[in-house]
Amino acid sequence: MNTLSTTPRPGRERLALTLAITIAIKCLLLYGLWYACFSHPQTKHMVLPDGQLERHLFSIQPTHK
């Protein structure tokens, strides 16, 4: 008797459908959250000069002991 069957179990199709629907809903919710919170800057003219940004990012901060 061969124990390796090529026919899927009855519950696997339903599980796959449930997982696919759950993942699709999560993706839509994450996109909605991104769109609501992060897709629009507070102002369209928000600019930071390159030199100031470089000094801030690459400066060595003093350590506090």
Q: What percentage of the chain exceeds 70 in pLDDT?
A: 72
C-alpha span between 10 and 7 (Å, rounded): 9
Q: What values do phi and psi take at 44, rounded to 5?
A: -75, -20
Residue with the bigger pLDDT between 45 and 65: it is: 45
52 inside domain:
no
5 inside domain:
no
Determine the length of the chain. Answer: 65
The least confident of 26-30, 42-46, 50-54 is 42-46
Tokens of 2: 């061969």
What range does the domain containing 29 cover? 13-41
Largest separation between any pair of C-alpha atoms in the chain: 75
Residue with the bigger pLDDT between 32 and 59: it is: 32
Number of domains the chain is built from: 1
Asked whether the predicted pLDDT for residue 60 surpasses 90, the reply is: no
Asked whether the CA dihedral 26, 30, 31, 36 is positive or negative, the reply is positive
63 inside domain:
no
pLDDT value of position 3: 63
Asked whether the predicted pLDDT for residue 9 surpasses 80, the reply is: no
49 inside domain:
no
